[in-house]
Amino acid sequence: MGHEVRVVDFEFLWRETDSSERYRGREEIAPESQIVDDAEISLIRPAMLKFPLLDKASILPAHSRELNRQFDEFQPDVVVGFGILNAYLAARLAGANDVPFVYYLIDHLHTLLSNRALQRVAKIVESRAVKRADFVYTINEGLREYAVNLGADPAVTRVVPGGVDVDRYREGDSDTVDLPVDIGDDETVLFFMGWLYEFSGLRELAQDLAATDEHDDLKLVVVGEGDLYDELKEIKQDQLGDQLVLTGRVPFEEIPNYLDYADVCLLPAEHNETMHDIVPIKMYEYLSSGSPVVATRLPGLEKEFGEESGVVYTDGPNDAFDTILDLLESDEYDARVREGLRYADKHDWTRLAEQFENHLEMVTDGSDPPSRDSTAIPSTE
């Protein structure tokens, strides 16, 4: 849309790289765009120590130095924070430089840390960043309540929901994908994509599928990697064989083609603190692909999708398999597909980006962006 964007990034997954370096100096990268054609950003990674705990401790000096540099050289019109510590540092510097600071919450960020002590510290920092923000944006209503509970002023909280590139996900073509096993036209594909958390519910679903010999026509396709991957490999080897298809990580641009296989998409996660209020972007991608979604009845999902958006709720991982069978055997399947397609149409990224751009322009002009109610995304029915 013509704006100059700089991203100051923390290399959270450094331990997954093959590099043996223990200190990385400052890097400035112009990454190739994977989502929006011709989009250009500058990705800046401040120096860091690559040791457990010290990696996060190095954020304070390295990101402070980098953010000061950006305020001096780049002189941003607005700062949008997505992280925890670097967002707090940016909020303080934005105030000192008389630049608006917007905090955009897309998750219960502190809960993603594995160390309990770090979680408590991170939540305090997250709360302070929220309180310093000129405006707080969240990706759904559940996270808006979470932000207010952290200390955000309700009068300056706004919701810009998640979205999807509708055309990209409608045009997926499974014929371009080379899966490790064949899937016949008479087989039904249960589909999950994303990071494989221990609490994703896939373990329970795979075990339930393995416990029955009445549904050999079902295949569980899992796209992604993560904590649960090795255990799923064992279930595949010992119990499910070709009924469980593990692709590992695939390029983002290929995801619509993989989704074209799906008959039912999945989010059967445990209800825990991390999942309580989140609405993963993949929910919109699932619905846009033309598949209903079976998802755990999480508060954030219920508030965002309601009961008529193509989402079929289940009570949790242990009930997901029965919910899937009920959906496939009912006469509601086609209606759920239509509901999901209508819902996705209202959440096209182009429209949402225009809305967010309008809000940021108002913030930089010193006026208050409208609430979500007065900028509701119109129906395309």
Q: Are residues 26 and 115 in the same domain?
A: yes
Whether the predicted pLDDT of 381 surpasses 50: no
Integer angstrom CA distances of residue 282 from 64, 100, 132, 193, 377: 33, 30, 30, 8, 19
Helix, strand or coil for residue 109?
helix
Q: Are residues 170 and 109 in the same domain?
A: no
Whether residue 317 is contained in a domain is answered as: yes
Q: Are residues 65 and 175 in the same domain?
A: no
Backbone angles phi, psi at 118, to 5 degrees: -65, -35
Query: Do 133 and 102 meet the contact criterion of CB atoms below 8 Å apart?
Result: yes
Higher pLDDT, 18 or 176: 176
Radius of gyration (C-alpha) of the chain in whole angstroms: 22
**CATH number, position 276:** 3.40.50.2000
- For every residue of 149-199, DSSP letters joined together read HHT--GGGEEE----B-HHHHHS--GGG---SS---TT-EEEEEES---TT
Whether residue 381 is contained in a domain is answered as: no
Percentage of the chain exceeding pLDDT 90: 69
Helix, strand or coil for residue 215?
coil
Q: Are residues 203 and 120 in the same domain?
A: no
The pLDDT confidence band at residue 380, using thresholds 50, 70 and 90, is very low
Helix, strand or coil for residue 296?
strand
Q: Are residues 242 and 334 in the same domain?
A: yes
Contacts 24+ apart (CB under 8 A), 93-97: 93/64, 93/67, 93/68, 95/132, 97/71
Domain extent, residue 103, equals 6-162+351-375
Q: Are residues 256 and 232 in the same domain?
A: yes
Whether the predicted pLDDT of 375 surpasses 70: no
10 Å CB burial of residue 6 (0-12, 13-18, 19+) is middle
pLDDT, position 233: 96
Q: Are residues 118 and 190 in the same domain?
A: no
d(CA 325, CA 215) in angstroms, rounded, equals: 9
Higher pLDDT, 257 or 381: 257
d(CA 268, CA 350) in angstroms, rounded, equals: 29
Helix, strand or coil for residue 266?
strand
Whether residue 264 is contained in a domain is answered as: yes
The pLDDT confidence band at residue 372, using thresholds 50, 70 and 90, is low
Q: Which whole number is the average pLDDT over 121-126?
A: 91
DSSP 219: E
Return the structure tokens found at 113. 């840390």
Q: Which whole number is the average pLDDT over 249-258?
A: 93
Q: Are residues 59 and 137 in the same domain?
A: yes
Helix, strand or coil for residue 260?
coil
Q: Are residues 170 and 306 in the same domain?
A: yes
Q: Are residues 79 and 117 in the same domain?
A: yes
Q: Are residues 149 and 200 in the same domain?
A: no
pTM listed for this prediction = 0.72
Q: Are residues 139 and 242 in the same domain?
A: no
* Widest CA span in the chain: 66
Place of tokens 């070709």: 242
What are 177-201's pLDDT values in tens digits? 989 888 988 999 999 999 999 999 9
